[in-house]
Structure 1
Amino acid sequence: MKDYYHYLWSTTWPNLIVLFLIFLVVFTRLGWKFFNTWCNKRNFLGFLFWIIKACFWTGLLGVYFDIFLLSQPDWFYKPGVINGSVQGMAYDSGTSSYLLDIRSGSEREQFYIDYRIYGRLKVDDQVELMYLPVRREVIRCELISGSKAEE
């Protein structure tokens, strides 16, 4: 699990920090406006206007958060783990990514890997993969048996 969340953090930290800063600025500003409007002036109309602003900003921040969840959905899923044999490997020049086909039992699944894993593996190697369940990116690859495991 630690590898899973470390990988997610390493790929999404700019998005999370910007989202956190936006939330911080908006809620600090709304809190300050609330304090000035309600506690100092006791202005009911100003407080009503503050409620409208708070609803607007909450909705807007909800949209930002929803966009983050659509682009990074793996934060709310458990990591996938699969044991199987390598059936094929390929480089997709259209997406500039390496693909790995794994057969586990009767199922055949495809995952995205980096160039280091691609260089280590051979067809028919037995591997255990930890991967992002939505984006299908491999986080950890352990070679159980095969050409490099025997060396």
Structure 2
Amino acid sequence: MSAYYRYLWSMTWPNLIALLLIWGFILSRLVWKSIRTWRYHPSLWSFIVLGFKVLIWAGILGVYTELFLFSQPDWFKQPGYIQGTVMGKAYDSRLRAYIIEVGDKTKQQSFYIDPNAYQQIKLEDQVKLMFLPVRRDVVQCEVLGNLH
């Protein structure tokens, strides 16, 4: 499981750090404004204005968090596992991605894989994969053997 989150971190660290900085900045500003309102302007009107500011900033934080979850949905999903036979290999020049198809004669699933692993895997190898469930990127690949 740690390999799964290390892989996600390596792919999404700029987005995650930006989101955490936004959260830290907005929350620190709201705490600062709350303290200033409580100490220097303790009137009903000041607390109403502060409440509206909190609602607006909470909405902005919600939008940024939702954008992160939309662009990186695998953070809150369990990793996928599959064991099967490599039925096909391809390079997609449009996406610049290496793709393998794993499964059996009736059902096959496509996964994006690292170029080094792609070179080592042969057709009809038995493999066990751990992958991102939404993006279909292979996190771990274990070759179990060959059918022939």
Q: State the TM bucket, normalised to the shorter chain.
A: over 0.9
Identity of aligned residues (%): 46
1:22 corresponds to 2:22: yes
Output aligned runs, 1:2-151, within 5 Å. Answer: 2-104=2-104, 106-146=106-146
* Separation of aligned partners in 2, 1:94 and 1:106: 28
1:37-79: CA deviation from partner (whole Å, max 9, x where unpaired): 1233212211111111110010011000000000110111110
Distance apart, 1:92 and its partner CA: 0.4
* Separation of aligned partners in 2, 1:9 and 1:105: 35
Query: Secondary structure in 1 aligned to 2:140?
Result: strand
Contact 1:82 1:104 in 2 (8 A): no
* Separation of aligned partners in 1, 2:29 and 2:104: 53
* Separation of aligned partners in 1, 2:122 and 2:59: 50
Distance apart, 1:139 and its partner CA: 0.4
Distance apart, 1:126 and its partner CA: 0.4
Distance apart, 1:146 and its partner CA: 2.5
Unaligned runs of 5+ in 2: none
Unaligned runs of 5+ in 1: none
Contact 2:87 2:104 in 1 (8 A): no
Query: Secondary structure in 2 aligned to 1:123?
Result: coil
Contact 1:127 1:143 in 2 (8 A): yes
- Could you tell me the TM-score, scaled by structure 2's length? 0.95
Distance apart, 1:105 and its partner CA: 7.1
Q: How many pairs are equivalent?
A: 147
Q: 1:35 is aligned with what amino acid?
A: I
* Separation of aligned partners in 2, 1:92 and 1:130: 21
Query: Secondary structure in 2 aligned to 1:16?
Result: helix
Contact 1:125 1:145 in 2 (8 A): yes
